[in-house]
Copies of this chain bind each other. A is one copy, B any other.
């Protein structure tokens, strides 16, 4: 019983510091290029020094922060070339799965996607940039999951984090967001119609201007 209590307490606090820092990097709270001082993080997230260090090491492994020995860790700023390369990788992976996505999608899946796309639309007006960002993520996650390759889904999820470090807070222009919205529906329609070429094209454009 005491044990159970502990488990529950642990599970409640089971949100790893790594995820918290990651989230703050992605929502732009921790700006690209800024130094992540261990003391600050320790206080901000109410955790111990070793926890902070483990989190920073993990994020450095994923290339979300950069480690300079004896200087510390700072939020990674991908240069233009790297960003372009990552986009290219994503295009390769996601368009490569277009056929399977279209093949595997049931009518229920299509409807679920349409719903997620609508949710994105709704949040353009009513939601915060962060909510919008998360709705976008949810849509793409659901979409890609249809390919049936769970390792690939994990991989893309991981990779996607590398490009979208900064942009969330000051997320591009209204025009672009609405363009994104249109492309979402374009993708859903392409899947519903089984037009894989159109799907590939939409995905490709979508990633490029992400």
Contacts and interface: CB of A to CB of B under 8 A. Distances in A.
B96 A149 contact: no
Contact of A93 (B58, B93, B150): B93
Interface in A79-105: 82, 85-86, 88-89, 92-93, 96-97
A155 interface: yes
Contacts of A151: 82, 85-86, 89
A57 interface: yes
Contacts of A86: 151
A37 interface: no
Scoring A54, A85, A97 by chain B CB atoms within 10 A of each residue's CB, the highest score goes to: A85
B57 A150 contact: no
Contacts of A54: 57
A89 B147 CA distance: 12
Contacts of A93: 89, 92-93
Contacts of A61: 58, 61-62
A200 to B, nearest CB: 12
Contacts of A138: none
Contacts of A88: 149, 152
Contacts of A152: 85, 88-89, 92
A137 B57 CA distance: 27
Contacts of A155: 89, 159
A10 to B, nearest CB: 10
A92 B89 CA distance: 10
The 9 closest A-B pairs by CB, nearest first: A85-B151, A92-B96, A85-B149, A89-B152, A61-B61, A86-B151, A58-B61, A88-B149, A92-B93
